[in-house]
Amino acid sequence: MCVANTMWQSIQKGEALTIPTANSIAAGLAPPFVGQHAFRLCQQYVQDIIVVPEESIGRAVTQLYRQGLVVEPSGAVSYAALALGLVPDVQGRKVVVVVSGGNIGVAELADITRQTVD
């Protein structure tokens, strides 16, 4: 269940929202509010927002770790979206996915990899 889709909900509703209960494994993508400037920019320039399920983010972190990359959950979301087939129109194309962020502690990484079901 996605509990940190503040910008997506704001775009759907047409106004910058505050969701104080926003919480996610991808803490860097879970702000409790959307700023007015960011909201206007997204309205103007963003074509779509893809919402990735929490368990898929954990699975992406684990898969990347098993390949030798330590990536924080927020930095693994784009990989998770692509792996799930949520990104449209990529069949037969060369695609680049940026994975980033080392803002993950050993204990958090261990918890995520332990909870991930393959």
List, for residues 63-96, the tens digit of each pLDDT value.
999 999 999 999 999 999 999 999 999 999 999 9
Tens digits of per-residue pLDDT, 27-67? Answer: 888 899 999 999 999 999 999 999 999 999 999 999 999 99
**pTM of this prediction?**
0.87
Helix (H) or strand (E) holding 37: helix 36-45
Domains of the chain, by residue range, sit at: 6-45, 54-115
Give the separation between CA 116 and CA 56, rounded to whole angstroms: 9
